[in-house]
Amino acid sequence: MSTFTPPALHGIIGYPLGHSMSPLMHNTAFRTLNLPGVYLSWPIEPGRLPAFVDAARLLNIRGCSITIPHKIDIIPLLDKTSENVREMGACNTLYRDGEKICGENTDVIGFTAPLRKRSLSPETRVLVLGAGGVSRAAIAGLRRLGLANITLTNRRKERAEALCNEFGLLCAPWEERGDVPADLIINTTPLGMTGAQEHETPYPRAFQDNGIAYDLIYTPFQTRFLRDAAAAGWETVSGLDMFIGQGDAQFHLWTGHHLPEEAITAVTSALYGQ
């Protein structure tokens, strides 16, 4: 008689959660690899976060993705945090180490994954557009890749200056961002995302010379920013690469396995119908 193994609980917390692709990705992976796991959506209001962590202990939740607005507030509720979390001041992943509930940040791993495939010279000049939470992951990732020539620009000047001071970056005024010489331009802003801002671009200039344009948005697959870059002969990287990279790192942390091809195909088909 075979013993019954209850599915290990995993999920995503945020508020509001909106339409996340994470349940489709992780549930397809559990099913394809025949692992006893399930991944659910848990919309948790900010005030209920401590109660959620108590529930995670009680229900033996094995892993969790964390999104806005909980990435910072979750940190003091954890038993242990990684160097990534401490460096970035944000946590996007919960995992178990024995009885302990631990925090990791896989955004850095996800961000660098597509850039590691392109051997970038240490002289690469980088321009980062935006100074929100995800730009911290980008900066930490660029540092890990050995890139030091980084200029940051943001619509709200004080946010840009705070990040530049913290990480020792060059700061450019938002109005002059098109004049910054760059071989790698990274968009961390929501400009170009499906919806009201879809026809906008964070980079209103013509792309000069050759380089790589990396948009952290993944809906639509080809933003106006990436279309303009491709038309100028630049290499383009979509935010889907980062989304899959961070999800793969989470799944590996929870199960010891990498995301199977089926999980990536399921997400791509659901997003872009291909």
Binding-site residue numbers for shikimate are 20-22, 67, 92, 107, 218, 246
What backbone torsions phi and psi does residue 179 show, to the nearest 5 degrees?
Answer: -95, -5
Omega of the bond leading into 202 within 30 degrees of 0 (cis): no
- Binding residue numbers for NADP(+): 83, 130-134, 216, 239
CA angle in degrees (0–180, nearest 5) for 135-109-133: 20
How does strand 170-171 pair with strand 80-81?
unpaired
CB atoms within 10 A of CB 274: 7
Q: Which of 71, 80, 100, 117 is catalytic?
A: 71
> Which residue bears the tokens 């530049």?
164
**Amino acid, single-letter form, for residue 104:** E
Active site residue 71: yes
Residue 65: closest CA among 87, 83, 39: 39
Looking at residue 227, the DSSP 8-state letter turns out to be: H
Using DSSP, state whether 42 is helix, strand or coil. Answer: strand
**Could you list the active site residues?**
71
